[in-house]
């Protein structure tokens, strides 16, 4: 028994975004961002119950519409029929670990090659056709699977191809993704392909919170009874959706309204025309939802708030949201019947005054010549920070970090493009862009006799395996006689993401504030690099008397950057404690995520001081040996500076069984620069 959609408290933006897509699937789906425990999933799951039911061809696994069956349906061809059974719209959940075969469906290559039969097992895309496809934790989904999903969503078709055997079927669905940004961001290229995005948070108002709890109790105690008390609202909502769908084709987007759409998109400086299209479609859907036949300024405003925030983000550390002032300005500047450029009230959602004036007769003149207002973007906007610099730190738990306890945190220097540090050997972890790994995609490096079904055929090896048997199998003509045991599965090699655990020395021995700023800048650069390579990251720091796990392994590079920025420095150097803390973190992670290989990055000058005098360095090297014994790949970033150098970092690197790099060697172009200067000398 799902929770009734009408009974969800708050979450207005999210519910509206879902409803607009239910009215007009062309809007392109919804991405919902918010912390855990905000009933995101409950709300999505509740949606299916209020969607209009669908008629399907009996026995078709691809949910063909009997009024207009898919001519390419693998279960077809079907005859056009007027009356066919109706079933509720479906909500299909796509689990984060789903394989490509599970998502798009699988072709039985063996049967295709040995019997000439095209046997296709439909995947989740087929199941979701004409319904909702829901991906919780979409940010954790394999990149390649996200690409498949978004391609299918954009084309309305799923396509599977294996070794020249292909299947195509219709797959039109409302795509909904939810995610917790604390666990890592979605790649910006993918963000842009969701039609709308909304941010959700638990309600602040105590009365509203109480209502959430009250309803949850009631529904848990008696799900059926609770659903019954909401059934009238649910029915009314379902009817309103059906009415809006019917109205949709009649809704007019006047030239004046279209100009407002484009003016708003220009004001927010979005790339390409996708934003304009989505905003226009969402505005039309909102007009239909509101029972209007013409798009008004209010529709454009609502659409822009949902369609634009994620299209103007420039890097993972930018704040979400849309600046209301810029939105108001763009709307009023492009308002057709406005003489005075400004002087209008704040917002007030001006219900009249705009649209109805003349029932659609658009003033021929390009009124407020939109060309001029493309510029005022940044200047008024609160945050315009163009380069990929310091993340704002306030998000991270410690509110009173500004007047630091013993020494104010040194600001990180400008980040640079970091060289790729990698784990040696070949792993089998989740896809990423760091270390070599066996994978589902990538280049062919060999073949094996398959244990299960063949997904990627190694053609040459298959032919070689079949060749010796041709005479015995009675081959006469030109064709090769293949048997199941000849088939060879290609072994592919790609790249995996890793867990990059930073162990950062924040003690006084690391030198001046400027030096610490450079160290932070370097780690920040490595964090940006980790974001692009789809790594998990963690941060251990040590100073004074102890080490601290400043951030347990997470997907949120943003959180790591915030912790790093506010990291205070000074005091003694408990290097051993830092390494032991790292050892413990890695031990837990190895249990939690055994496939993900760790890369330890120790940022230090290699010195160790402790409360018990000279034993500190010995202890540190013992801790390093402990880590080396687990086979953990390690890189020591040597931060020693000044005229007299002890070279302790290199000794530590050797104890860890890893590589040692100087701070200056971390930049991707550092090697080339060294070679160049060596040549010049
Ligand atoms: Zn069909």
Query: pLDDT digit string (tens) for 77-119?
Result: 888 887 788 999 999 999 887 888 889 888 877 777 777 677 8
Integer Cα distance of 163 and 455 in angstroms = 9
Placement of tokens 């909500």 in the chain: 91
Average pLDDT over residues 37-59: 90
CB 584 within 8 A of CB 626: no
Contact 89, 131 (CB under 8 A): yes
Ligand 1 centre and the CA of 54: distance in Å?
A: 14
Residues 157 and 128 sit within 8 Å (Cβ to Cβ): no
Query: How crowded is residue 414: how many other Cβ atoms within 10 Å of its Cβ?
Result: 13
CB atoms within 10 A of CB 312: 20
CA–CA distance, 331 with 284 (Å, rounded to integer)? 16
Q: Could you give the CA distance from residue 45 to residue 61 in angstroms, rounded to a whole number?
A: 22
- Count Cβ atoms below 10 Å from residue 180 Cβ, excluding itself: 19
**Active-site option among 61, 216, 274, 590:** 274
pLDDT one-digit tens code per residue, 497-525: 899 999 999 888 777 777 888 888 888 88
Ligand 1 center from residue 60 Cα (angstroms): 5
Q: What distance in Å separates the CA atoms of residue 102 and residue 94, rounded to the nearest whole number?
A: 9
- Give per-residue pLDDT as tens, 124-163: 999 999 999 999 988 878 777 888 888 888 788 988 877 6
CA distances for 171 relative to 65, 127, 282, angstroms: 12, 8, 21
pLDDT score at 256:
93
- Residues 177 and 35: their CA atoms lie apart, in Å, by 14
Mean pLDDT of the chain: 81
What are the residues whose beta carbons fall under 8 Å from the beta carbon of 451, sequence distance 6 or more?
none
For residues 309-317, give the mean pLDDT.
64
Instruction: Give residue for tokens 């150098």.
Output: 645
C-alpha of residue 193 to centroid of ligand 1, in Å: 28
Polymer length of the chain: 681
Q: Is the pTM of this model over 0.85?
A: no
Q: How far is ligand 1, taken at its centre, from the CA of residue 74, in Å?
A: 7
Buried/exposed 627-658: b ≥16 CB within 10 Å, e otherwise: bbeeebbbbbbbbbbeeeeeebbbbbbebbeb
- pLDDT for 285-294, tens place per residue? 999 999 999 9
Whole-number Å distance between alpha carbons of 8 and 40? 10
Is 515 one of the catalytic residues?
no
Q: Rounded to the nearest whole angstrom, what is the distance from the C-alpha of residue 89 to the centroid of ligand 1?
A: 16
- The count of other CB atoms within 10 Å of the CB of residue 670 is 17
What span, in angstroms and rounded, lies between the C-alpha atoms of 545 and 555? 29
Q: Which residue's entry shows tokens 């949910």?
A: 63
Residue 604 has a pLDDT of: 92
pLDDT in tens, 576-630: 999 999 999 999 888 878 889 999 999 998 888 875 556 888 889 999 999 999 9
Query: Residue 440: which pLDDT band, with cuts at 50, 70 and 90?
Result: confident
What gap in Å lies between CA 227 and CA 5, rounded to an integer? 10
Per DSSP, helices labelled H in 222-311 are 223-229, 231-247, 255-267, 274-289, 297-307
Please tell me whether residue 403 adopts helix, strand or coil conformation. coil
Spacing, Cα 70 to ligand 1 middle (Å): 6
Q: How confident is the model at residue 561 (pLDDT cuts 50, 70, 90)?
A: confident
Q: What span, in angstroms and rounded, lies between the C-alpha atoms of 125 and 153?
A: 9
Query: What is the DSSP annotation of 417-468?
Result: PBP----SS-B--SEEEEEEEEEEEEEEEEEE--SS--SSB-HHHHHHHHGG
């Amino acid at each position: 028994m799902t929770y009734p959609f009408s009974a969800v408290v708050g979450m207005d933006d999210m519910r509206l975004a879902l409803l607009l897509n239910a009215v007009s699937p062309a809007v392109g789906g919804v991405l919902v961002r918010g912390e855990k425990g905000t009933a995101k999933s409950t709300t999505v799951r509740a949606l299916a119950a209020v969607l209009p039911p669908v008629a399907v061809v009996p026995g078709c696994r691809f949910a063909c519409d009997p009024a207009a069956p898919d001519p390419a349906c693998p279960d077809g061809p079907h005859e056009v029929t007027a009356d066919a059974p109706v079933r509720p719209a479906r909500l299909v959940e796509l689990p984060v670990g789903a394989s490509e075969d599970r998502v798009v469906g699988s072709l039985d290559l063996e049967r295709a090659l040995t019997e000439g039969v095209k046997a296709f097992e439909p995947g989740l895309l087929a199941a979701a056709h004409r319904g909702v496809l829901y991906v919780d934790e979409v940010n954790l989904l394999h990149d390649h699977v996200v690409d498949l999903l978004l391609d299918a969503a954009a084309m309305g078709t799923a396509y599977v191809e294996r070794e020249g055997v292909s299947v195509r079927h219709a797959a039109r669905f409302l795509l909904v993704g939810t995610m917790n940004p604390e666990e890592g961001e979605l790649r910006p290229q993918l963000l842009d392909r969701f039609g709308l995005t909304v941010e959700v948070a638990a309600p602040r108002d105590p009365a509203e919170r109480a209502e959430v709890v009250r309803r949850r109790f009631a529904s848990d105690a008696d799900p059926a009874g609770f659903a019954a008390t909401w059934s009238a609202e649910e029915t009314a909502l379902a009817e309103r959706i059906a009415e809006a769908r019917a109205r949709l084709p009649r809704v007019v987007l006047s030239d004046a309204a279209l100009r407002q759409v484009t003016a708003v998109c220009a004001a927010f400086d979005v790339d390409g025309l996708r934003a304009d299209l989505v905003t226009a479609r969402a505005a039309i859907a909102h007009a239909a939802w509101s029972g209007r036949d013409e798009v008004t300024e209010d529709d454009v405003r609502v659409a822009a708030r949902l369609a634009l925030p994620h299209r103007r983000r420039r890097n993972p550390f930018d704040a979400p949201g849309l600046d209301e002032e810029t939105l108001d300005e763009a709307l009023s500047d492009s308002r057709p019947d406005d003489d005075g450029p400004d002087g209008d009230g704040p917002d007030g959602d001006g219900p009249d005054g705009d649209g109805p004036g003349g029932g659609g007769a658009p003033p021929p003149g390009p009124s407020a010549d939109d060309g001029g207002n493309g510029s005022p973007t940044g200047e008024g906007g609160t945050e315009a920070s163009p380069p990929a610099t310091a993340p704002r730190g306030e998000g991270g738990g410690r509110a009173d970090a500004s007047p630091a306890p013993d020494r104010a945190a040194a600001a990180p220097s400008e980040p640079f493009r970091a060289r790729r540090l990698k784990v040696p050997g070949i792993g089998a972890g989740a896809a990423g862009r760091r270390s070599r790994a066996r994978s589902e995609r990538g280049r062919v490096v060999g073949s094996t006799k398959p244990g299960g079904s063949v997904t990627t055929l190694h053609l040459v090896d298959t032919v070689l395996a079949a060749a010796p048997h041709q005479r015995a199998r009675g081959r006469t003509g030109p064709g090769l006689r293949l048997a199941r045991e000849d088939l060879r599965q290609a072994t592919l090699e790609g790249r995996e993401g890793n867990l990059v655990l930073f162990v950062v020395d924040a003690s006084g021995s690391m030198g001046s504030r400027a030096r610490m700023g450079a160290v932070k800048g370097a780690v920040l650069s490595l964090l940006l690099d980790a974001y692009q390579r789809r790594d998990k990251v963690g941060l251990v720091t040590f100073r004074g008397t102890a080490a601290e796990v400043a951030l347990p392994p997470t997907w949120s590079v943003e959180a790591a950057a915030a912790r790093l920025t506010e990291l205070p420095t000074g005091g003694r150097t408990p290097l051993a404690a830092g390494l032991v803390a790292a050892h413990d973190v890695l031990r837990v992670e190895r249990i939690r995520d055994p496939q993900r290989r760790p890369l330890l990055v120790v940022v230090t000058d290699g010195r160790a001081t402790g409360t018990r005098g000279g034993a500190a360095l010995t202890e540190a090297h013992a801790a390093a040996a402990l880590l080396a014994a687990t086979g953990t790949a390690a890189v020591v970033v040597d931060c020693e500076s000044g005229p007299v150098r002890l070279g302790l970092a290199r000794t530590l690197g050797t104890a860890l069984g890893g590589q040692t790099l100087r701070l200056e060697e971390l930049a991707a172009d550092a090697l080339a620069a060294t070679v160049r200067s060596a040549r010049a000398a």
